[in-house]
Structure 1
Amino acid sequence: MPKVSVIMSTYNCKDFVSLENSVMSIINQTFTDFEFIIYNDGSTDEGKTSDYLKETAKLDSRIKVVDCYENHGLAYAKNQMIEMSSGKYITAQDDDDVSHPERLEKEVKFLDSNPEYDFVGTVAKVFDGNGIWGHYDLVEKPTKESFLWNSPFLHPTVMFRREVLKEVNGYRVAKETMRAEDYDLFFRLYAKGYKGFNIQEDLFEYRIENDPSKKYRPMSDRIQEAKVRYKGFRSLGMLIKGIPFIFKPILIGMIPQKVFYFIRKKIY
């Protein structure tokens, strides 16, 4: 039985180079006692993603590829992979991000040595096709107040204790969590009294496109996130304090794209 289960979901992959880089960043980890479950979430690209993943599985015996014939979204896919997994610890890897070689080793060491914490993530470098362009800062020891502006954890860096995910029934599959399943999960974990820690070391490279002409998120997704925020702040007993922040994603979506581009550069 592996100590760590790494889970990854992909759908209609458009950049196989990025996918390969992401997969190889896990295969080349200094910590080796893991299984790597890659889930094809009902891709409809005439078998291109499926065929590529089958070839990818030949790279390493720890890789297990699962083909789903219908797309259900990230939350459903992750719950399926959690059920299939057997590791003591579970962590996700997005199909276009890169884990640094010591990421798993340092997160396992932290959880082994700090039983008072239920999950652990890291800070990260931010990159796109042109290279590193920013940094993803996170508070080391998030509190409930840390949830107000954004999620205080970068989800694809986070390693969970298996039993903690089981206690909250994994990811919530709902319309409003389609683009905010991670934020929703962390709200529910903290509402249950669980807590996480962020290692203040760049053990991850997180892809965010830095293109002023590209629309970052549609308004429909922002409205759904507002619903997640409402439920989350209510569950943490801080709804009154959270009211202004519930509307934050909607208000940001009203900012002209070129202005938002400069704001984002300042943030990262």
Structure 2
Amino acid sequence: MADLVSVLMACYNGEKYLEESILTVLNQTYRDLEFFIMDDGSTDGSREVMEKYADRLTVLEHPGRGNRGQYYSLNEALRHARGKYVAFIDADDLWEPDKIEKQVALMRRTGRKFCYTAVKGFHGDDMDRWFSFTDKDGPLATAEAILLDCGICPAATMVERSALEDVGGFAEDVMPGDHDFFLRVLERHPACFLREYATWYRFHPAQISAKRVLWEDGFAVLRRAAGRYPYGRRLVRKRKAVLYYRLMRHDLRDKKPRFLYYALLSFLYDTKRAAGHALGALRKRMRGTPPGVRQGGAA
């Protein structure tokens, strides 16, 4: 008997790409799905797009159609989910048609409670010029590796419901709630990795990862993680260097002079890694690849 998979999406003003993301779920080869979209107080045409497919998914909303944030919305959607497995997708990302089918098969075979796929990143609508966001030949994710650099996107993941209950869902008070969630799951449950590019992660200016607060809140995620799990002082320092580097990049882009302060902190906390990041960013800029992503190839 097939296991039910619950697919959860939180959407706030995602009209531009929403229909593509909805269809990428509804067209999965794995048919034992339930699909919940939490309308997080959208004021654009997102609700009309959701209602267009209301016979094939469930649209949820907060009291008064308020806006409560992505992770509060996902936790609320989770209350409605009945599946043994839970998958997440943002209102701008895409899946290969057999993504869910292959993840369920791998999780059954390995007995693992957390699964993620390799990911192709792309900008806007240009899927031809993709790059490897999560490399299919990369190492298996561990809590230690994810603490240092979270190379997993939510749309690539599937979690057994029991593991979600172990960690209590998403933290709602920090912007990188997905990073915090992945850490708490991996601290308790080893992952399995579907080494296929089954997920497409879209980059665009309106997404959360483009916001500075994501990296500011990263320090709160780090403090909690270090107090909860024996990551070690050296790894914690390396993560601080990464966060300072990200803040430096934002301030450099916005032409704020404090970028020099964050560059110095990044260098002091992890000299070797900071120098490597700077050289890597320079090489990517020369190749025309946006800094912070890994170079891939055309599909």
Please give the range of the TM-score, normalised by the shorter of the 2 chains. 0.7 to 0.9
Q: Distance in 1 between matches of 2:93 and 2:118?
A: 13
* Partner SS, residue 79 of structure 2: helix
Q: Distance in 2 between matches of 1:265 and 1:114?
A: 32
1:172-251 to structure 2, matched below 5 A, reads 172-174=171-173, 177-178=174-175, 180-191=176-187, 193-209=188-204, 217-241=210-234, 242-251=236-245
Q: Does 1:56 align with 2:53?
A: yes
1:1-268 to structure 2, matched below 5 A, reads 3-15=4-16, 18-45=17-44, 48-58=45-55, 60=56, 63-68=57-62, 69-115=65-111, 117-128=112-123, 129-131=125-127, 132-138=129-135, 139-174=138-173, 177-178=174-175, 180-191=176-187, 193-209=188-204, 217-241=210-234, 242-255=236-249, 256-257=252-253, 262=285, 264=291, 267-268=294-295
Percent identity (aligned): 24
Any idea what the Cα deviations from partners look like across 1:147-169, whole Å, max 9, x if unmatched?
24312532211111001101111
Amino acid at match of 1:86: R
Q: Distance in 2 between matches of 1:156 and 1:10?
A: 13
Query: Alpha carbons of 1:144 and 1:9: their partners in 2 closer, same or farther (altered >3 Å)?
Result: closer
Amino acid at match of 2:221: V
Q: Distance in 2 between matches of 1:167 and 1:19?
A: 31
* Partner SS, residue 148 of structure 2: coil
User: Post-superposition shift, 1:234?
Assistant: 3.5
Work out whether residues 226 and 250 of structure 1, in 8 Å CA contact, stay in contact via their aligned partners in 2: no
Query: Alpha carbons of 1:156 and 1:194: their partners in 2 closer, same or farther (altered >3 Å)?
Result: same
Q: Please provide the CA RMSD for this pair.
A: 2.5
Any idea what the Cα deviations from partners look like across 1:195-214, whole Å, max 9, x if unmatched?
212211100111023x8xx9
- Bigger drift between 121-130 and 100-109 goes to 121-130
Query: Alpha carbons of 1:11 and 1:216: their partners in 2 closer, same or farther (altered >3 Å)?
Result: closer
Any idea what the Cα deviations from partners look like across 1:160-188, whole Å, max 9, x if unmatched?
100110111111111xx22x111101111
Specify every segment of 5 or more residues in structure 1 that has no aligned partner in the other structure, as ranges. none
- Bigger drift between 144-153 and 235-244 goes to 144-153
Q: TM-score, normalised by structure 1?
A: 0.85
Work out whether residues 134 and 265 of structure 1, in 8 Å CA contact, stay in contact via their aligned partners in 2: no
Whichever of the two has the greater Rg, that structure is 2
Q: TM-score, normalised by structure 2?
A: 0.77
Specify every segment of 5 or more residues in structure 2 that has no aligned partner in the other structure, as ranges. 255-280
Amino acid at match of 1:32: R
* Partner SS, residue 8 of structure 2: strand
Work out whether residues 122 and 154 of structure 1, in 8 Å CA contact, stay in contact via their aligned partners in 2: no
Give the aligned length.
253
Amino acid at match of 1:111: M
